[in-house]
Structures are given as C-alpha cells and as structure tokens.
C-alpha cells in the first residue's frame, strides 16, 4: 500500500473543489492512512477532516462513514443515513439512561465499563475527549448515593452544577456549598477550599477533575490544600476517578490502587497557525473581522481585556441584536453606562474575567453558546473545563499576567474550542 503524505492530504481535505474533483482518490488516501496507522489519533484527525467535507464526497461518503465507525467515532454517525451494521454499532454505544440520542465513542465505552466494574481509574485524555460525559454516565449507571466532585475553579463548579442539576434533579441533590441541606442522594461539586470531609460525610465515590494540579506548585496554598484533601480521600479506600490532560504517568504506589489509562483519542481537529505581528491587537482585530462569529480571544489579564474591547469597538467590530442591547442597557443601569462590560456587550462582544460578577460571566458564556454574542474576550477564568461552542480561538498573549503560558495552560486554552462536525482554528 503506498504511503500517503499527511500534510498534502490535510490540505486537500480543506479544499472542497479538490475533494469534489476526485472524491474516490481522496477517500482512498484517507483509508490508506487509517490502515497504515491502525486507526490511531492521527488517522482519527484525518477522518474528522474528511467528515468536515462529507457532502463533497458524493457516493464515496460511505467510505468515510465506514472509516468513522472503524475509528470508534460513533457519535458522528447519522442514524438517519446509516447502514444496518452502523446502526447496530451505534446501538451498542448508546447510553439510554442519558437520553435516546446519547452515544459514546469507543474509548468512552471501554473506560466506562472499567469504572462500572468497580475499578478506580486515573485517566489522561485530551480536552476534546468528553471526560465530563464519563462523569455523567457513571452517575446515571453506577448506583451511587453520595459522590464528591472536586473541580479547580468557581467557574467550572458553576458549570458542573447547572449541567448536573438539569440532568439528575430531582434524583440527586447537587450541593456546591456545605450550608445547603443534604438530600437522600447527593452530588457534592466543590473546589478543594470548600470541601470539608467531616461535613460531607460518607462517600461512595470521589472524582478529581484536572488532577494534574496535584503536581503544580506555583500556587503553594491551593496546591497544599488539594494534596492534603486527596490524601485523606485516598485513605478512605473508596472508588475514585481522576481525570485530566497530558499526564505521562503516576507513582507506583497509585498504580497499586487503580488503573492508569492514557489515550490520545480525539473528537475534534484543529488548524493551528502561528501569527507574528508588530501590533498583536491590531492583528487580532483583523482576524476577528475575517473570522466573524464564534471566536474566543484569550488575554493575559482583565486590564488587557478592557483595552482590547475598547480598541475593537473603535475599529468597528460590532454584532448587535435585541438580546445584547437589552443586557447592555441593564448592566448600564445596574452598574454604570460607561462600564467596559456594558459597552462591549452592546456590540455583541462578551467579557469573561475575574473582576466580572459571576452571574454576568456565566451569562456571557451562555449568550456566546447560543449565538447571541459573536465574540468572547477572556482570561484564565474561562480556560479550565468551561465548554463553549467556539470554532476559532485566538491566543492574543503568551502570558498569564506576567508568567509565560505553560504546556498545560496552552492545551486548556485550546480545549475551549471545538464542536461536533467542525474544524477549529487556533491562532
């Protein structure tokens, strides 16, 4: 079988006319890559890029759909157009307790089986893997009564509370502050600083999201709090699930207690471009005009967000609509008409940083996800686990405040973008 040049194939899959000119040849090259690489994460990315041009393949789309199934990307299969064997595969990966259309990919199903078998698991997986789906699947299928979920930030705690309350209420009571009265079945979603184990009481399961923070010591206080808490939880002997990205291994003592699973399985493909400009804000404005809707811009600090939003408005970036107009007027009355948040929102530009009230930051994420806001300027408050519909991510600054962005932070920023059946651009 001839070797296929991956770069050239990726370029071809980005051009609809090239695919339409000879769809069988392109589909054959995609199949060759999958066979040569045994359907690994590189092959998965090529298949995802082919899926983005599925309509261009004409009658050859069945080849791509078959490769989707072979890669284990079952959520991408369309039951309405699937062949009988594909429908059977979808059925085997459907999780009815979370809804009739809830389908797991192959790696999720394998890991869930391990967890439901009572094993503790430490999982290293990319940000696009769908780790929160595994948490929901465990709660739906596992027969637990009291579960603690530790998350690193208030923003992620709020997002998890909303998701879990919608999905599991009234069967579970979701608790984010220990002053709340417990129910018969409880999901405690807490940051380490809020987790008092004596007040929480007996647990069936504990989950640590973004567990790599156990080894990060820049913030000494939070690092110590999380480590002490996890040490006490591990001493209980209860089942646990720790999940996060880009972990190469765990201590030998931990391997005796759990199964370490490392995967590069991906469900989105990203186009990464490195841009150099004398004025990065001016370049960002140019890109936002070109990209339009569904773009997040990462900035190093709240002050930087304020400056960038002002320059964007002055440059004429604006996507007004009745919903953002109403929200801007409300913020102007309740706070101040010249507040940068109110001015930016009036132009369809969302603001998300630590100095913004949490309710307004949450509103910006929700409005961005439903399309009311076209652009979202953020700092690190958004980058750890908060899911968005963004198709484009622009990293304006290479620092967080004055500290250079590290590998984990870069991947967390990257993970805020990506949707099913869409390529993302990371600039």
Residue 38 has pLDDT above 60, yes or no: yes
Q: Which residues of 229-245 are buried (b: 16+ CB within 10 A; e: fewer)?
A: bbeebbeeebbbbbbbb
Distance from C-alpha of 152 to C-alpha of 293, rounded to nearest angstrom = 29
CA angle (35 as vertex; 34, 41 as ends), nearest 5: 35
pLDDT tens track for 302-344: 999 999 999 999 999 999 899 999 999 999 999 998 999 999 9
Rg of the chain (C-alpha set): 23
Provide the whole-model pTM.
0.80
Among 404, 394, 382, smallest CA distance to 127 is for 382
- Report pLDDT for 153: 81
Contacts of 370 (CB under 8 A, 6+ apart): none
- Report pLDDT for 241: 95
Element (H or E) spanning 280, and its range? helix 280-291
Distance from C-alpha of 289 to C-alpha of 403, rounded to nearest angstrom = 29
Q: Assess whether the region 106-262 and the region 269-426 belong to the same CATH fold.
A: yes
| Superfamily of chain region 269-426 | P-loop containing nucleotide triphosphate hydrolases (3.40.50.300)
3-state secondary structure of 352: strand
pLDDT tens track for 77-123: 888 877 788 888 888 899 888 888 889 999 999 999 999 999 999 99
Distance from C-alpha of 319 to C-alpha of 349, rounded to nearest angstrom = 8
pLDDT tens track for 169-206: 899 999 999 999 999 999 999 998 999 999 999 999 99
Q: Compute the half-sphere exposure of residue 339: CA atoms within 13 Å on the CB side of its CA.
A: 20
Residue 384 has pLDDT above 90, yes or no: no
Helix 131-141 to helix 106-116 angle, to the nearest 10 degrees? 40
Which residue carries 């759990």 as its tokens? Answer: 258
Residue ranges covered by each domain of the chain: 6-85, 106-262, 269-426
**Which CATH architecture is the domain 106-262 placed in?**
3-Layer(aba) Sandwich (3.40)
3-state secondary structure of 378: strand
């Amino acid at each position: 079988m001839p070797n296929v040049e991956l770069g050239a194939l990726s370029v071809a899959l980005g051009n609809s006319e090239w695919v339409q000119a000879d769809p069988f040849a392109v589909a054959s090259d995609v199949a060759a890559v999958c066979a040569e690489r045994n359907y690994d994460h590189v092959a998965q990315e090529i298949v995802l890029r082919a899926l983005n041009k599925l309509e261009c393949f004409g009658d050859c789309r069945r080849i791509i759909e078959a490769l989707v199934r072979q890669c284990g990307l079952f959520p991408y299969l369309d039951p309405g157009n699937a062949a009988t064997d594909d429908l059977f595969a979808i059925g085997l990966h459907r999780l009815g307790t979370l809804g009739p259309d809830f389908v797991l990919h192959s790696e999720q199903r394998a890991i869930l089986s391990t967890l439901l078998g009572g094993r503790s698991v430490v999982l290293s997986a990319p940000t696009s893997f769908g780790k929160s789906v595994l948490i929901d699947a465990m709660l739906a299928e596992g027969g637990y009564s009291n579960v603690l979920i530790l998350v690193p930030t208030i923003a992620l705690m709020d997002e998890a509370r909303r998701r879990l309350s919608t999905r599991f209420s009234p069967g579970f009571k979701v608790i984010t502050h220990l002053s709340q009265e417990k129910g018969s079945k409880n999901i405690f979603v807490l940051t380490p600083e809020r987790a008092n184990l004596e007040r929480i009481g007996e647990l069936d399961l504990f989950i640590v999201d973004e567990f790599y923070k156990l080894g990060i010591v820049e913030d000494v206080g939070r690092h110590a709090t999380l480590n002490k808490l996890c040490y006490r939880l591990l001493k209980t002997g209860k089942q646990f699930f720790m999940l996060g990205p880009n972990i190469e291994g765990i201590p030998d003592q931990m391997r005796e207690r759990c199964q370490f699973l490392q995967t590069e399985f991906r469900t989105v493909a990203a186009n990464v471009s490195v841009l150099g400009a004398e004025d990065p804000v001016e370049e960002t404005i140019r890109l936002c005009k070109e990209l339009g809707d569904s773009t997040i811009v990462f900035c190093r600090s709240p002050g930087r967000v304020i400056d960038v939003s002002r320059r964007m408005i002055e440059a004429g970036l604006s996507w007004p609509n009745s919903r953002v107009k109403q929200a801007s007027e409300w913020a102007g009355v309740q706070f101040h008409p010249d507040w940068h948040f109110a001015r930016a929102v009036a132009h369809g530009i969302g603001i998300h940083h630590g100095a913004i009230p949490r309710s307004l930051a949450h509103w910006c994420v929700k409005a961005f996800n439903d399309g009311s806001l076209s652009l979202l300027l953020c700092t690190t408050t958004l980058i750890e686990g908060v899911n968005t519909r963004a198709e484009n991510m622009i990293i304006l600054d290479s620092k967080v405040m004055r500290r250079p962005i590290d590998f984990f932070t870069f991947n967390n920023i990257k993970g805020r973008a990506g949707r099913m059946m869409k390529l993302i651009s990371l600039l």
